Each structure stands twice: as structure tokens, then as C-alpha cells.
Amino acid sequence: MTTYHKNKNSYFTAILREGGHTINDMTGRWKDISSEKIIESRTLHVSEKVKELTVNYGGLSKTIEIPEGCGVFQAIRSAVTFLQDGTKDTKVKGRLMGIVKDDKIIEEYFIGNDITGYKYD
Amino acid sequence: MNPPDLTFNLPFEPFTPVTCLNYKQTNKDGSVYPTREGEESDRVVFRIYNNLALNPSVITADNIRITTYDGIGLASMTSGQSLVSQQWMRMYEQFYGESTPLGVYKFTTYLDTDTAVGGAVSRYKPKYGSDRATSGIRAGSDTNGYGFIELTSYLEVPYGTGMGDYNFVITVEYDYVP
């Protein structure tokens, strides 16, 4: 039996188009309902099966509805810093989510505590 | 599934972890000096591996971006510090590939664009990931080989820098889907 771990501070909740079933980090994996695509030179895990996606991170929450004919992606964003003493520090910076249509990103959100204010590129 | 496990390693067997990168300058007579202002340091080559330890259930690191921040340690990238000034590092991808415990290797040489990095704005995005098809480094846990990218880096120290030791940290940002 596969067990899944739900982090109470970082998780997604997706409502599927078919049957209106809900899936989250506790009941499944995003990879199980998505496929890997290269869009705008980025690797995104896009699902065509979701009609509504909510992402929670650190007390923040964002819900998006996905129009017919569009896909949705989400992922965790992290960073590792290599220090002079040979150790490394890994931090989760937040979660990103967005909508794609015709192999283009038409909406994107970042939910996290990173306030550097830069665009992805 | 476990998050990506990125490490800095030397580019040759046994791929020892890098503890500290030093950027110096070698003269024609072979003597090594600090890098002079207005000149370039020697090239320093290193690899970024994902899951070189071959642990089970480690996830691919997608969309790799690399940059540097001034100073020592994590404080170098917090709001307690000024904007990044040491945008002296240049780097480019020169090699990528994957291995498996069974000894099947796939390596490819590729010279990417020489890019200046520093801070949140000037980040280097390698052209190819470990499998060439994506911009990530695969982990060897989901039936593929554990991957790496190999980078050449050097400092281009501007005029007027002055003498002294300058410290910076290297940060690799990435996305992943459990």
C-alpha cells in the first residue's frame, strides 16, 4: 500500500473535472494526474484533468479555476546554498502554480516567503 | 518521495564533494597569484549532481538556476545585506550526463553561452539538463540514471576592486514535484 505524506504547511488540493473527486498530497501524487511538458523552456508537470486547484503554503492560500481546454501546473520551489565550510543549506521558498493553454503559460502565481521580486527569467 | 539532493562535486573520479572554490590566477611561469583587477581568474570546473549517493525515491530537480551572493553564509542573501555588488562570476555549461549503478553512462559535451551571474536578477540557466531533453537534473530513483551538469566558472574582476579577500556563496534554485 502506498502512503502519502501531507505537510500541513505546504500542500495542494485539486478538484478533478471527471466526477468532481478531490485529490491532495494525502490521497495521491501530482505526478499521477499530470504529464511532463517543456513549455517556454521550462519543465512543467501539466494536468488537463483538474478544474480547480488550491495551493497552500505557510498559511497562504491561492485557488484558481482552470478554463476548459487549459492545463494547470504546480510545483515546489526550493534553493540550495553551498557554503564555504563545505556544508549546504536547503530551503523551500514556496510553491508555484499556473495555467497553460496551447503550450503557453497564460497565468502564473508564486506563493511563498521569497520577496526578491524578480520574474522567473 | 524525497526532495532533490543536489551536491557540488569535483568533475573527476571519485567525484569528491567540493568544500570551497578558490579563484586565483596562474602566471605564464606557473606561479599562482590572487586574481588581478581588470583580469580573469583561472577556470574552475565543478559538477552539480542530484542524488550521487543513489538513495531511493529522490525526485528530479527541474528548471535549474544558479547565482551568487556576496558574503559568507546564509546572511549573504537576506534583507540584512545590501544588494549584490560582486557580479564578477561568469559560468557556462560544458558537459552533462547520467550514470546508473549498472555502469551505463551517457555523457555529452556541450559549450553553452558564457554568462555573468550575481544576485536574483542575473542567474545562469543551463541550456541542457542531465538528460538533454529537459532543464533539470534527474535523480536516478525513478528508473533513470543519476544526473549531473558540469560547469566552468571564473571571475572577471573589475578595475578599482582593490586588494583583499572577497567571499561569496553559490545558490542553486530549482523546482520539483513530489
Residue A3 lies in a domain: no
Contact map slice: B 87-116 vs A, CB within 8 A: none
Give the closest-approach CA distance of B106 to chain A in angstroms. Answer: 21
In a domain, A92, yes or no: yes
The residues in A 68-87 lying below 8 A from B, measured between CB atoms, are 74-86
Write down the pLDDT at residue B20. 86
CA-nearest residue to B177 within chain A is A75
Contact A15, A51 (CB under 8 A): yes
pLDDT band at residue A44 using 50, 70 and 90 as cut-offs: very high
CB A96 within 8 A of CB B175: yes
Q: pLDDT tens for residues B77-126?
A: 555 556 666 778 999 999 998 876 555 567 788 888 899 988 777 889 99
Amino acid at A108: E
pLDDT of residue A117: 40
Are B119 and B83 contacting, i.e. CB atoms less than 8 angstroms apart? yes
DSSP-derived secondary structure letter, A109: E
Contact call for B134 and A36, based on CB within 8 A: yes
Question: Which one of A50-54, B12-16, B28-32 scores highest in mean pLDDT?
Answer: A50-54
Contact (CB, 8 A) for B171 and B69: yes
Q: Is A47 on the interface with B (CB under 8 A)?
A: no
Interface test with B, best of A73, A78, A92, A115 (most B CBs within 10 A): A78
> Which residues are within 8 A (CB) of A48 and not within 5 positions of it... i.e. 6 or more apart?
A71
pLDDT at B46 over 90: yes
Residue A2 lies in a domain: no
Chain mean position to CA A89: 22
Give the separation between CA B119 and CA B69, rounded to whole angstroms: 6
Q: Which domain holds residue A36?
A: 10-112
Chain A touched by B143 (CB under 8 Å): no
A4 assigned to some structural domain = no
User: If we measure between CA atoms, which residue out of B102, B154, B139, B109 comes closest to residue B4?
Assistant: B139
**pTM to 2 decimals?**
0.89
In three state form, how does the secondary structure of A32-83 look? HHCEEEEECCEEEEEECCEEEEEEEECCEEEEEECCCCCEEEEEEEEEEEEC
pLDDT at A116 over 60: no
Residue A87, in any domain of the structure: yes
Q: Is residue A45 part of a domain?
A: yes
Q: Report yes or no: B4 at the A interface, CB cutoff 8 Å.
A: yes
Q: Residues A10, A76: contact at Cβ < 8 Å?
A: yes
As given in the structure block, the three cell numbers for residue A70 are 487549459
Contact A79 B171 (CB under 8 A): yes
Query: Residues B97, A82, B45, B132: what is their CA dihedral angle, to the nearest 10 degrees?
Result: 20
Give the whole-angstrom CA distance, residue B27 versus residue B2.
Answer: 46
**Count of the separate structural domains present in chain A:** 1
- Cβ contact (<8 Å) for A75 and B120? no
Residues of A in contact with B173 (CB under 8 A): 77-79, 93
Q: How far is A90 from chain B (nearest CA, A)?
A: 9
Please compute Rg for chain B using Cα positions: 17
Question: What is the helix (H) or strand (E) element at residue B99, kind and residue range?
Answer: strand B89-99
Report d(CA B93, CA B42) in Å as an integer: 16
Whether A90 is in a domain gets the answer yes
CB–CB of B177 and A78 under 8 A?
A: no
Contacts of A106 (CB under 8 A, 6+ apart): A70, A98, A99, A100
Q: In the numeric block, which cell numbers belong to residue B122?
A: 542575473
Residue A119 lies in a domain: no
